[in-house]
Amino acid sequence: MTVHELLSRLDGVRRSSRGYVARCPAHPDRSPSLSIHEGQDGRILLYCFAGCAVQAVCASIGVEVKDLFAAGNYGEQKPHQMTFRHSDWESLAFRYRFHADGLWLRGQEVLKTLTGAKVTNWSSTDRDDAMEKAIRAYDDLERAELLDAVAFGIRQRGLKHERKRYASRQSAA
């Protein structure tokens, strides 16, 4: 779905300096609380300053969250094939998790400060700055989930590796 297809489903659409604003369809919205930006990768980024979840915004206009990803090709890319030369699986997994937790907390913290902000009197530049912050926060959360999954994968591979080593030692004895 293109940004313009999405905008056609919204009311009170106005251009802002780096994107658009519109009335949020997921809550009774008199001032336009919804910011709409187009990501560099073609993704449509939505943020309701009153705190509505992206899922709620999409559901109110009959759109699925995955429609926001250009041409539906998001998620079709194969995950990177990682080769581990590290022998200490546990500490590697820990490092990924630690980093994931940091990103997660940072993202949540930023979103907390933005939710419920009184944006009515904000200049369009202030709004756009806040929107960029929200986008970065969402990126943090997304990356945190990814790193968490990587950490999990490392642990699983480590355990398998250890089991194999144990089994071969048993059979040698």
What is the nearest approach in angstroms of Zn ion to the Cβ of residue 28?
A: 9
Q: Minimum Å distance from CB 52 to Zn ion?
A: 3
To Zn ion, the closest distance from the beta carbon of 45 in angstroms equals: 15
Q: How far apart are CA 170 and CA 57, in angstroms?
A: 58
The smaller minimum CB distance to Zn ion, of residues 49 and 96, is found at 49
Closer residue to Zn ion (CB): 28 or 79: 28
Q: Which residues of the chain form contacts with Zn ion (CB under 5 A)?
A: 24, 26-27, 48, 50, 52
Cβ at position 57, least distance to Zn ion in Å:
6
> Given the complex with Zn ion, which of 27 and 133 has the nearer CB atom?
27
Q: Which is nearer to Zn ion, 34 or 151 (CB)?
A: 34
